[in-house]
């Protein structure tokens, strides 16, 4: 049986197949076709013949190569003597297939196309109809435009959407067609005004492969409301709701709350309205420059009590809401108008890097070598913290591979340095942790290793070697490790943590125990101790890909994407066949904004079968993410 990672591109040669009509879809989709059929006849016209003979003048036969993984591997499907007008292949599954013609002698076999070779054309096979995830009609009063909103999932782009509205009495029918439906996802189309009464709406979605899905809606169109000026109040923003009303019913500003800092880019803007005279539609306006310019972000005909807004990046945002009733509107902000609510989004954690004193340089981000110090130590660091807390810096220290942190200094102003008069009792290898906090509670940490020694022995500490604690109780440590393994099998995570922590105390050089302890912390979402445990595991077991992968997962979990990417780069360099590492590397690069490189990582993961914990379906889903 073939390996699962090759199933997506397994092809079977057939003798007869229906012809494939190549329908270019514009320059961006030139030679990209869509079909429901899996048995395909690929036309080989004069232009293709000329290209083959130019590339291989001695050719008297042509071979059709097909790739089901975007050119990462090619399958030889059929060879025919020239001249010929078509070649055939059968796909084992739906998907996008790249097709490439290669000329070769009739009595010899030429080389396969290289990885990443450009196809002559592409074919997307989609045998399933569009999946209509959502279809709603914005309620409208008689005489107003009706808007249909949908969310459709389909492998092939939508060719068009047709909606027919029929009144319950059957004496009135209205039809609308949207022939520019695009590639699926969310969309909308509008009717002309419908009269008051009961309507049945039949909506048909058709994709470029010829698949069709049909849905129906029952809609009641109400009589037009009386022409009374509506009023709305922005009552809350995000969670938890903020106290206080911002607008009097007439629209005058009564009070101004201070600017609010929020840790999420997904915001909920709540509002209330006059229940006796509700508006027919509301609009949410957004400003990024304090009201100098405004943009209408979204409208709502259904009064749900809130808008959901997705901020593109961190920084200040202002919001106002306008109201509509029929063809009249109130509260549309103009340039210079102050927003009704102002917030600052702080979703990106701060960053911090040690500058001095640093130990010997190492190319491995997981290995922390100690710096030799004697007497007072000048600690220096650099931070990127756009919205810092009032006193954002805290310093702690502990014995190397210890379990208890001791306060060193803080909270402090972020001056970038601190003179530490090291107590006489602190000697030998230690670790210093620097924690930086922002306005909403995000934290970033950086670790520093020091070897504190009297002046006479300070030089001996700078050998570039990790300090190793004396191994004691190794037999007991392994017994504790075995008990922890049993506890994990029984889903007793607390018991596993206790036994693994005991094992690392009994034998601080027990790399497997540190790695498993990091896995327990990772399972519970405790990122900081997970980073610490995995760092020790990697230092003790530098060839362990599992420990390195866990280290990167923990760094990404605490929001330190730069450190996670550095760790993953090291891992895939050491072991380029680790599919899980390529999947995670792509995810962290995508979050960091490097979408092109992220896709290359996922293509590499696909060629490796997706990894052990990941799978091809997840990788294919990731590759469909839009920039």
Question: How deeply is 350 buried, as exposed, middle or buried, from its count of CB atoms within 10 A (0-12, 13-18, 19+)?
Answer: buried
pLDDT of residue 13: 22
Question: How deeply is 108 buried, as exposed, middle or buried, from its count of CB atoms within 10 A (0-12, 13-18, 19+)?
Answer: exposed
Rounded to the nearest integer, the mean pLDDT of the chain is 77
pLDDT above 90 covers a percentage of the chain that reads 4
How confident is the model over 326-330, as a mean pLDDT? 77
d(CA 237, CA 343): 9
Q: Does the pLDDT of residue 11 top 60, yes or no?
A: no
pLDDT of residue 285: 92
pLDDT of residue 466: 42
d(CA 309, CA 44): 51
* 351-461 matches 232-345 in CATH topology: yes
Task: Tell me which of 180 and 100 has the higher pLDDT.
Answer: 100
Query: DSSP H helical segments within 463-560, as ranges?
Result: 474-489, 493-506, 511-523, 527-540, 545-557
d(CA 557, CA 526): 9
Question: How deeply is 337 buried, as exposed, middle or buried, from its count of CB atoms within 10 A (0-12, 13-18, 19+)?
Answer: middle
Poorest-pLDDT segment among 18-27, 316-325, 344-353: 18-27
Q: According to the CATH classification, is domain 474-623 in 3.90.1300.10?
A: no
Planar angle of CA 532, 534, 540, nearest 5 degrees: 110
pLDDT of residue 137: 75
CA distances from 474 to 272, 479, 491, 514, 541 (A): 66, 9, 25, 14, 17
Domain 131-221 -> CATH class:
mainly beta
d(CA 18, CA 78): 16
Token pair of 395 as six digits: 């310093």
d(CA 459, CA 450): 13
Task: Render pLDDT for 250-297 as a digit per residue (tens, 0 to 9).
Answer: 333 233 446 788 888 888 888 887 777 788 888 999 998 888 889 999
Backbone angles phi, psi at 151, to 5 degrees: -135, 110
Give me the torsion for CA of 531, 537, 541, 542, rounded to 10°.
Answer: 20
- Total Cβ atoms within 10 A of residue 540: 20
* Element spanning 131, H or E: strand 131-138
CA distances from 338 to 232, 288, 297, 351, 539 (A): 17, 11, 17, 33, 55
d(CA 34, CA 207): 9
Per-domain residue ranges of the chain: 4-125, 131-221, 232-345, 351-461, 474-623
Task: Render pLDDT for 367-418 as a digit per residue (tens, 0 to 9).
Answer: 777 788 877 888 999 988 888 888 899 999 988 777 788 888 878 888 888 8
Domain 232-345 -> CATH class:
mainly beta
Give me the torsion for CA of 359, 362, 364, 368, rounded to 10°.
Answer: -10
Q: Which CATH architecture has domain 351-461?
A: Sandwich (2.60)
Token pair of 452 as six digits: 């504190």
Threshold 0.85, pTM exceeds: no
- Return the DSSP state at 457: G
């Amino acid at each position: 049986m073939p390996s699962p990672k090759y199933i997506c591109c397994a092809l079977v040669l057939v003798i007869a197949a229906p012809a494939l009509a190549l329908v270019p879809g514009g320059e961006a989709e030139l030679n990209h076709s869509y079909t429901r059929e899996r048995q395909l006849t690929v036309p080989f016209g004069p232009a293709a013949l000329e290209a083959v003979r130019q590339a291989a003048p001695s050719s008297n036969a042509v071979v059709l190569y097909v790739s089901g993984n975007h050119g990462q591997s090619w399958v030889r499907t059929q060879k025919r003597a020239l001249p010929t007008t078509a070649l055939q292949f059968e796909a084992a599954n739906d998907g996008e297939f790249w097709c490439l013609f290669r000329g070769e002698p009739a009595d010899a076999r030429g080389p396969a196309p290289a990885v990443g070779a450009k196809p002559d054309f592409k074919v997307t096979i989609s045998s399933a109809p569009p999946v209509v995830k959502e279809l709603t009609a914005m309620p409208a009063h008689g005489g107003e435009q009706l808007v249909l909103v949908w969310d459709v999932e389909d492998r092939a782009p939508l060719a068009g959407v047709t909606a027919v509205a029929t009144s319950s009495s059957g004496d009135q029918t209205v039809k609308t067609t949207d022939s520019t439906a695009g590639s699926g996802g969310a969309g909308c189309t509008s009717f002309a005004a419908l009269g008051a009464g009961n309507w049945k709406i039949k909506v048909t979605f058709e994709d470029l492969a010829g698949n069709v899905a049909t849905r129906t809606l029952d809609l009641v169109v109400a009589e037009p409301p009386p022409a009374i000026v509506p009023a709305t109040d922005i009552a809350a923003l995000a969670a938890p709701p903020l106290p206080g009303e911002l607008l009097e019913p007439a629209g005058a500003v009564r009070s101004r709350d201070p600017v609010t800092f929020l840790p999420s880019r997904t915001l909920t803007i709540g509002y209330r309205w006059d229940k006796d005279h509700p508006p027919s539609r509301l609009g949410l306006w957004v400003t990024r420059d304090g009201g100098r310019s405004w943009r209408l972000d979204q409208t709502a005909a259904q009064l749900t009590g809130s808008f959901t807004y997705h901020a593109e990046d961190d920084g200040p945002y202002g919001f106002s809401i306008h109201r509509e009733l029929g063809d009249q509107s109130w509260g549309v902000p103009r340039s210079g108008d102050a927003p009704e609510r102002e917030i600052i989004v702080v979703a990106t954690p701060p960053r911090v890097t040690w500058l001095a004193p640093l130990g010997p340089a190492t190319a491995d981000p997981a290995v922390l070598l100690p710096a030799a110090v004697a007497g007072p130590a000048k600690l220096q660091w650099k931070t990127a913290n756009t919205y810092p807390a009032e006193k954002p810096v805290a310093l702690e220290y502990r014995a190397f591979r210890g379990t208890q942190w001791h306060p060193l200094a803080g909270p402090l102003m972020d001056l970038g340095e601190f003179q530490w008069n090291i107590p006489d009792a602190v000697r030998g290898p230690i670790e210093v942790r620097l924690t930086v906090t922002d306005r909403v509670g995000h934290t970033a940490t950086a670790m520093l290793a020091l070897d504190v020694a009297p002046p006479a022995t300070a030089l001996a500490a700078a050998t570039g070697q990790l300090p190793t604690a004396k191994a004691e109780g190794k037999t007991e440590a392994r017994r504790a490790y075995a008990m922890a393994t049993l506890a994990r099998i029984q889903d007793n995570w607390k018991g596993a943590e206790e036994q693994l922590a005991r094992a690392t105390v009994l034998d601080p050089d027990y790399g497997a125990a540190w790695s498993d302890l990091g896995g327990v912390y990772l399972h519970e979402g405790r990122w900081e101790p997970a980073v610490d445990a995995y760092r020790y595991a990697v230092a003790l077991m530098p060839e362990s890909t599992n420990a390195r992968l866990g280290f990167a997962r923990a760094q990404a979990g605490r929001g330190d994407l730069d450190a996670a990417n550095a760790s993953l780069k090291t891992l895939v360099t050491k072991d380029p066949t680790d599919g899980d590492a390529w999947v995670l590397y792509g995810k962290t690069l995508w979050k960091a904004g490097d979408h092109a490189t992220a896709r290359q990582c996922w293509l590499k993961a696909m060629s490796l079968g997706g990894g052990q914990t990941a799978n091809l379906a997840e990788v294919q889903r990731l590759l469909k993410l839009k920039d």
